[in-house]
Structure 1
């Protein structure tokens, strides 16, 4: 038996949502993590079993987006001091850069310890964190 996904959340969804209250963006890139996928699957099952309303499901996913972004800003202390690799694909769409590197090497600052990380392939997603509607050219001139 095929189960439906709740409305508005597909693999081709827009990568960010705009919060109306404070004119900030919340990127949805963390939904592709193991935790985000598990949360989505659990909520989808509850919606399909009619135990959780669809409008709350969307609100729960948006809350997850904001919470994870906030945690990364306040709790992650690791700083990448240098990195290298062979760039083989890059794209830019709607203020989101994606880079695919081969044979990448990352070095981090000691907090609590320094690390040297090497991987065969890596996908980097970089999002523009400035508020939407702000003129980026003017921001550069003013800084």
Structure 2
């Protein structure tokens, strides 16, 4: 299934021989995407807990501003509510992207005393 989706441009299969995430491949993809679309990146937000080699490469090689964003409700509640509202009101659309569909179907809204955030329904299905 993923090979067919990769052929359609919805995902990229890792080039790592054991199927692990390839940090260099992610870094090259992001840099090519920014260049091809002539993007003027104003800010790059990242999860400091999950900081990986490719994100560290960015900090060294580009002059973007960087901001850590913790994966906790205070940081995620406003973007989560914005996205939830946009989906409900059909003000955003998505292609027939089965990778995104699987991630969205596995997403649940988690609420605590501070607000809401997206969480995974099943730990085995990653949203990355």
With the shorter chain as reference, the TM-score category is under 0.3
Provide TM-score, normalisation by structure 1: 0.24
Greater fraction strand: 1
Provide TM-score, normalisation by structure 2: 0.25
Greater fraction helix: 2
